[in-house]
Amino acid sequence: MSSTMDRAMEAFRFWMEDDYFDPEVKQELLAIRNDEKEIEDRFYKDLAFGTGGLRGVIGAGTNRMNVYTVRKATQGLANYIKEQGSQEKGVAISYDSRRFSPEFSLEAALCLAANGIKAYLFDSLRPTPELSFALRHLGCTAGIMVTASHNPPEYNGYKVYWEDGAQITAPRDKEIISCVRAVTDYGDVKTMDRESAEKQGLLISIGSEIDDLYMEELKKQIVHPEMIKEVSSDLKIVYTPFHGTGLVPATRILKELGFAQVYVVPEQADPDPDFTTLEYPNPEDPKAFALALDLAKEVGADVVLATDPDADRLGIYSYDTKSESYVGFTGNMSGMLIAEYLLREKTKEGTMPENPALVKTIVTTNMADRLAEKYGLTLIEVLTGFKYIGEQIKFFEQDHSHQYVFGLEESYGCLAGTHARDKDAIVAVMCLCEVAAWCKSKGITLWDQMLKIYEEYGYYKEDLHTITLKGVSGAEQIEAIMTALRKDPPTKLGSFEVLKIRDYKRGVIRELATGAETDCGLPESDVLYFDLEGDGWCCARPSGTEPKIKFYMGVKGTSLSDAGEKLEDLKKALLTLVD
């Protein structure tokens, strides 16, 4: 028996025998007692508390999401907060519609309370961006969001935010991880009953008062409220929250702004932890839009919107009058639609702040660079993950170097305004509908406007290819792929010459023509990025939260078809390289 299996069996027996674990958990484990492979997968390690927190399959075991792993993580966080001397500020907690989300959030709150740290717990499910807003409004030291974002139904997760409202970044992330890992004995994990926590003022319920303030902050991002009212009765919007947290805030903000024709997909309106009508609750998946597009055709909608379960990401379709069909937008496309409108209209209205900045991740479209150039914004590039965009807002406030205008990432996330420090699908819904209203006032569609943007800035097209490799062997395969790419990097990919290689693990950018190396200027991360000729690029990056390695790529073409051909050429060359 391998040492990994030995450790797994020892942990399995401990969970089966120790009185700390509930009878229901032992019953679940009893059912797998003869399945060594399942035991190994559940117990070969502790569920990793990574730079974003926890994320995993729900179930009994050290490598699963359950009340015990949530308590241990929260105890580690509580220990860190007390080390920082900020326990008096408290922690805000929210959760989405997933299985055990209410239970996990309450367990986290009671653990904090038992450690003498006040927990502000939302009275029902709320979006991730509202949690980011709430913790800043309440002056909390940290925040916890119980969600697995767009993962399948069997997953749940636990994301940690710090007092600036963004998810934790270096060096704080590693410091918190160390505190979480230091909790090895379940006997060191504190908890208390809810009634006692409430009586002692350590557990406080929050809700509608935060909702109202959040709504008011969102409305500040509207440029032309009068224009919305003029066309609101003509613009038809179909919306689906994908059984998640978006229904109440998204429909509320649209109604309060005057959008009169909003049609919600009835089958997907209510929270449902099983996501019954969906294979995968992800706005990146075209299949997830089937019911919404059916409703759109029925009512003659101009735009179709979908938010993921924790409402931080937005997917859209627009009606195209020429083909008389609906066209799907990538996250890069919808982000550029909103950014182009905001930058253009703020410039025209004279409301662009001094030293404005546009922030994007390294795997987001290069069209953002061209847009920033036109309107005179500083373009700042950060590592993948919206927490790094949120971190830039903090830096701007500290050094007064820039004023944040807009931030986006390719994975359907963006943020207008600084009310939150994470991507916000509710503000994105609102802004996108303002763009749709502007288009309606000009007699064009969102797709027509996207084509105009392509004509002006170039036909940029991007793609993502993901390889899933689970378990111990999968992690080893992912590491081997990255090692091989570093050891023997390509000098050409298909028809594209490689101009530069950015190795964010080594922290250097190497010019292939000269061999010269410069500092990449970003934190260390296991990422390889290849700058290609003609404004093309590709990037290899292991996921920090899932057993996956992701390959991002982008090109610039002279037309949609030319860009599509170039992208296929690049993708084929890249996948041949790693197969």
Q: What is the pLDDT of residues 195-247, one digit of tens each?
A: 999 999 999 999 999 999 999 999 999 999 999 999 999 999 999 999 999 99
pTM over 0.75: yes
pLDDT digits (tens, 9 = 90+) for 238-269: 999 999 999 999 999 999 999 999 999 999 99
CATH of the domain spanning 214-330, picked from 3.40.120.10, 3.20.20.140, 3.40.720.10, 1.25.40.10: 3.40.120.10
Is pLDDT of 578 > 90? no
Q: What is the mean pLDDT of residues 394-413?
A: 97
pLDDT digits (tens, 9 = 90+) for 18-67: 999 999 999 999 999 999 999 999 999 999 888 779 999 999 999 999 99
DSSP codes of every residue in 237-257:
EEEE-TTSS-HHHHHHHHHHH
| Integer Cα distance of 22 and 372 in angstroms | 56
Looking at residue 3, its pLDDT comes to 82
Domain boundaries 460-578, corresponding CATH code: 3.30.310.50
| Integer Cα distance of 439 and 231 in angstroms | 10
**Two tokens at 27?**
């019953």
pLDDT digits (tens, 9 = 90+) for 464-480: 999 998 877 888 899 99
Q: What is the mean pLDDT of residues 490-517?
A: 96
DSSP codes of every residue in 29-75:
HHTTTT-HHHHHHHHSSPPP-BTTEEEEEBSSSTTSBSHHHHHHHHH
Looking at residue 385, its pLDDT comes to 92
pLDDT digits (tens, 9 = 90+) for 93-120: 999 999 999 999 999 999 999 999 999 9
Long-range interactions of 395-403: CB distance < 8 A, separation 24+ = 396/357, 401/355, 402/355, 402/356, 402/357, 402/378, 403/353, 403/354, 403/355, 403/356, 403/357
CB atoms within 10 A of CB 563: 20
| Percent of the chain whose pLDDT exceeds 90 | 94
Q: What is the mean pLDDT of residues 275-304?
A: 96
What mean pLDDT, rounded, does the chain reach? 96
Instruction: Calculate Rg over the CA atoms of the chain.
Output: 24
Sketch the domain layout of the chain as residue ranges.
Answer: 45-206, 214-330, 460-578
Please indicate whether residue 149 is annotated as part of the active site.
yes
Question: Is CATH 3.40.120.10 correct for 45-206?
Answer: yes
Is pLDDT of 545 > 90? no
Label residue 503 by pLDDT band (50, 70, 90).
very high
Looking at residue 579, its pLDDT comes to 72
Query: CB under 8 Å to 28, separation ≥6 — which residues?
Result: 59, 60
Whose tokens are 């909103």? That residue is 338
Sheet holding 155-162, edge to edge: 53-57, 155-162, 142-146, 91-95, 119-122, 203-206
| Integer Cα distance of 381 and 362 in angstroms | 6
> Helices marked H in 423-469 — which ranges?
425-441, 446-457
Which of 149, 318, 334, 525 does the annotation list as catalytic?
149
Indicate if 460-578 has the same CATH topology as 45-206.
Answer: no
> Helices marked H in 376-424 — which ranges?
386-399
Looking at residue 181, its pLDDT comes to 94
Label residue 431 by pLDDT band (50, 70, 90).
very high
CB 460 within 8 A of CB 365: yes
Looking at residue 1, its pLDDT comes to 55
Over the range 246-261, which residues count as b (16 or more CB within 10 Å of their CB) and which as e? bbbbbbbbbeebebeb
